Amino acid sequence: MPPKPKKQPRARKPHANVTRIPEIIARLDDAYGIPEWRPHRDPLSELVLTILSQNTSDSNSGRACVRLLEAFPTWDAVMEAPLAELIAAIQPGGLAPTKAPRIRAVLRDIKGRRGDFDLAFLAELPLDEARAWLGSLHGVGPKTVACVLLFALGRPAMPVDTHVFRVAQRLALIPMRAGNAAMTAEKAHALLEAAVPPDGYYAFHIGLIKHGRRTCTAQRPSCDACVLRDLCPSVGKVAGNRTVRESVKHVDG
């Protein structure tokens, strides 16, 4: 007898909160203010700052970026700097021995392909092509791609950092697992981009970051003060221990 075909795992039905994402955004806007998009900086500076921001605070990554530009006045100088000097310059951002060679490799990659460091052309490419071009750079992952597209170019993309990932999982906007593996922030980009209306990407991203920092913290979240309490299936389930996987513990691109 032929072997019985293996049962395919059932696709999980999306949680009802996915349909309430516009309401979630509106509540976060009421709680923390409506975020207004402004271009942060040129695309390359945004790319480098995003690499520096991985696994550190905004203040530390900002200090590292300032020190980098003070030590090396041009991107050519950064690209050609001895690795030890580059590591020393970005030390305040943490993980400098990992980030320094990554920044140098990205700069060399861009210069080799384009002949300069101007990434303004990405604004004119179809979105999928711009995303693919950035994602093909050495060591650049979905979060960095999305940050450059959204913050520097004002294009619809969804950056998923540790706060967005944690709050989205607690609200059941993304599942805890992806097939047989644990869900990760990298895998969550596509899911959240499909779930959130494109014109809401910026407000959703900023709202979940603020909520994750001020209320829905990694440990001991303030559920009693949460404006999403009645929607959240995780209320009361997080105390000193984490109930969602903090997957962004590595240098997530």
The tens digit of pLDDT for each residue in 77-121 reads: 999 999 999 999 999 999 999 999 999 999 999 999 999 999 999
- Confirm if 174 and 16 have CB atoms less than 8 A apart: no
Residue 251 confidence (pLDDT) above 60:
no
- Confirm if 93 and 51 have CB atoms less than 8 A apart: no
H helices, E strands: number in the chain: 11, 2
Annotation marks residue 249 as catalytic: no
Q: Are residues 95 and 183 in the same domain?
A: no
- The gap between the terminal CA atoms of the chain, to the nearest Å, is 49
- Confirm if 168 and 192 have CB atoms less than 8 A apart: yes
Judge whether 8 lies within some domain.
no
Largest CA distance in the chain: 73
Q: Are residues 165 and 226 in the same domain?
A: yes
Residue 82 amino acid letter: P
Q: Higher pLDDT residue, 40 or 121?
A: 121
pLDDT interval class at 241 (50, 70, 90) = very low
- DSSP characters for 191-208? HHHHHS-GGGHHHHHHHH
pLDDT interval class at 14 (50, 70, 90) = confident
Alpha-carbon span 143 to 214, nearest angstrom? 22
pLDDT at 249: 38
**Considering the entire predicted model, what is its pTM?**
0.86
In this structure, the chain runs to a length of 253
Residue 247 confidence (pLDDT) above 50:
no
Least Cα distance to 171 among 224, 225, 226, 213 occurs for 226
Alpha-carbon span 72 to 36, nearest angstrom? 32
Q: How many domains does the chain have?
A: 2
Alpha-carbon span 68 to 89, nearest angstrom? 5
Residue 250 confidence (pLDDT) above 60:
no
- DSSP characters for 118-151? --GGGGTS-HHHHHHHHHTSTT--HHHHHHIIII
Rounded to 10°, the helix 201-214/162-170 angle is: 90
Domain membership of residue 187 as a residue range: 16-36+159-231
Give the other-Cβ count within 10 Å of 83's Cβ. 11
pLDDT at 12: 62
CA dihedral 140, 202, 204, 195 (to 10 degrees): -70
Instruction: Choose the catalytic residue: 4, 13, 143, 237.
Output: 143
Consecutive H or E run containing 68: helix 58-71
Last residue of a domain, one of 152, 168, 191: 152
Q: Are residues 75 and 142 in the same domain?
A: yes
Judge whether 11 lies within some domain.
no
* CA 207 to chain centroid: 13
Q: Are residues 222 and 170 in the same domain?
A: yes
pLDDT interval class at 237 (50, 70, 90) = confident
Q: Which residues does 41 contact at the CB level (< 8 Å), separation at least 6?
A: 49, 152
pLDDT interval class at 242 (50, 70, 90) = very low
CATH assignment at residue 207? 1.10.1670.10
* CA 110 to chain centroid: 21
Classify the C-alpha dihedral 176-181-186-189 as positive or negative: negative
The tens digit of pLDDT for each residue in 186-233 reads: 999 999 999 999 999 999 999 999 999 999 999 999 999 999 999 999
Give the other-Cβ count within 10 Å of 58's Cβ. 10
The tens digit of pLDDT for each residue in 133-184 reads: 999 998 899 999 999 999 999 999 999 999 999 999 999 999 999 888 999 9
CATH assignment at residue 101? 1.10.340.30
Q: Are residues 121 and 180 in the same domain?
A: no
The tens digit of pLDDT for each residue in 57-78 reads: 888 999 999 999 999 999 999 9
